[in-house]
């Protein structure tokens, strides 16, 4: 069985980074991290500030995120941030990356030869597709573990013949990675 699929469906529920319990990583979290291109998710060299901001997003209540705020405020937030400065940034970053890997395991698709791409943001496309094709509510879709939503969307699209894309198998992904490494070494 494809490890990316099983990784998306079998998750720990006790992720704690900088003393904050993180909820399952979901479309909302990715949306809010994408708003400022948070380097803890998108970058190669995140700072402690990037990681603290990402932890606040991934530990906040969805209602707070929808209102454009995080759940930890005022003195409690200031105290927490001060306390975090004494904790190993590298260890906490490794925990956060393991948390992301636990939830954000998506199918990989072959790209079309014509290079066609969608105009709508991928997150919105997946959420809207699931909303149209399932009985899940908008809130359920945006707050469910992200890997599950991408896999469900891919399965429904395949069943309905909506997409001509094919999921890249683990062997094909390994081959692609090896070819990219070889190209970089020779490049």
Share of the chain above pLDDT 70, in %: 81
Q: Are 78 and 130 in contact (CB under 8 A)?
A: no
Q: What is the pLDDT of residues 11-29, one digit of tens each?
A: 778 899 999 999 999 999 9
pTM over 0.85: no
Query: What tokens does 111 get?
Result: 């790209």
Q: How sure is the predictor about 7, in pLDDT bands with cuts at 50, 70 and 90?
A: confident
String of DSSP letters for 32-73: HHHHTT-HHHH-SS--HHHHHHHHHHHHS-HHHHHTT--S--
Query: What tokens does 25 get?
Result: 């990583």
Query: What tokens does 99 get?
Result: 């948390």
Query: What tokens does 1 get?
Result: 């069985």
Share of the chain above pLDDT 90, in %: 39
Half-sphere exposure of 148 (CA within 13 A, CB side): 13
* pLDDT of amino acid 89: 96
In whole angstroms, what separates CA 162 from the centre of its chain?
24
175 vs 30: which has the higher pLDDT: 30
Q: What is the pLDDT of residues 110-125, one digit of tens each?
A: 565 555 554 556 777 8
Whether the predicted pLDDT of 176 surpasses 80: no
Q: What is the pLDDT of residues 43-74, one digit of tens each?
A: 889 999 999 999 999 999 988 888 888 888 88
Phi, psi angle pair for 104, to nearest 5°:
-100, 65
Best CA proximity match to 29, nearest among 67, 4, 56: 56
Longest CA span, the chain: 54
Beta strand extents in the chain (DSSP E only): 16-17, 20-21
In whole angstroms, give the CA distance from residue 54 to residue 33. Answer: 7
């Amino acid at each position: 069985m494809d490890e990316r699929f099983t990784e998306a469906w079998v998750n720990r529920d006790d992720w704690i980074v900088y003393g904050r319990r993180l909820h399952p990583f979901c479309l909302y979290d990715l949306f809010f991290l994408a708003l400022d291109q948070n380097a803890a998710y998108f970058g190669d060299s995140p700072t402690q500030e990037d990681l603290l901001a990402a932890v606040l997003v991934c530990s906040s209540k969805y209602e707070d995120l929808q209102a454009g705020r995080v759940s930890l405020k005022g003195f409690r937030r200031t105290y927490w941030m001060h306390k975090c400065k004494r904790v190993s940034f590298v260890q906490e970053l490794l925990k956060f990356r393991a948390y992301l890997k636990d939830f954000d395991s998506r199918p990989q698709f072959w790209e079309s030869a014509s290079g066609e791409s969608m105009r709508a943001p991928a997150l919105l496309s997946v959420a809207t597709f699931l909303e149209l094709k399932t009985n899940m509510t908008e809130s359920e879709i945006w707050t469910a573990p992200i890997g599950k939503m991408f896999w469900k969307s891919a399965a429904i699209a395949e069943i309905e013949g909506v997409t001509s894309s094919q999921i890249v198998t683990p062997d094909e992904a390994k081959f692609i990675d090896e070819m990219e490494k070889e190209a970089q070494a020779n490049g």
